Amino acid sequence: MVDGAIDVLDLLAPTSGFSWHYPVRTKVKHRIASIRHIQLNEARLASRVYVASGTSVGWVGGRAISEQ
């Protein structure tokens, strides 16, 4: 299912497909920026959860503090 969806993406396209987007980015740069945007919002949400409740978010695949 995921492999088929990825095969359809034209990551080598010279534009992102959004005519109003400035500056003009390649499709792959647009996808990377989207992933970074999601990560930033996840981090902000985790911070708000911690401030409001004092509970840390357990990230999947994250290292324990003692391992850092």
**62 domain-assigned:** no
The answer to whether 42 touches 60, Cβ cutoff 8 Å, is no
Average pLDDT over residues 52-59: 84
Domain membership of residue 64 (yes or no) is: no
Return the closest-CA partner of residue 16 out of 34, 4, 1.
Answer: 34
Q: What pLDDT, in 10s, does the model give residues 6-36?
A: 778 888 888 888 888 788 888 889 989 999 9
- pLDDT-derived band at 53 (thresholds 50, 70, 90) equals very high
- Its domain, for residue 42, covers 2-54
CA–CA gap between residue 39 and residue 31 (Å, rounded): 13
Residue 61 included in any domain: no
- Whether residue 13 lies inside any domain: the answer is yes
Q: How many CB atoms lie within 10 A of CB 35?
A: 9
pLDDT of residue 68: 46
Instruction: Quote the pTM value.
Output: 0.64
Residue 65 lies in a domain: no
39 found inside a domain: yes
39 to each of 2, 13, 42, 45, 49, how far by Cα in Å? Answer: 20, 24, 5, 10, 15
Number of domains the chain is built from: 1
Query: 62 falls in which pLDDT band (50, 70, 90)?
Result: low
pLDDT exceeds 80 at position 66: no
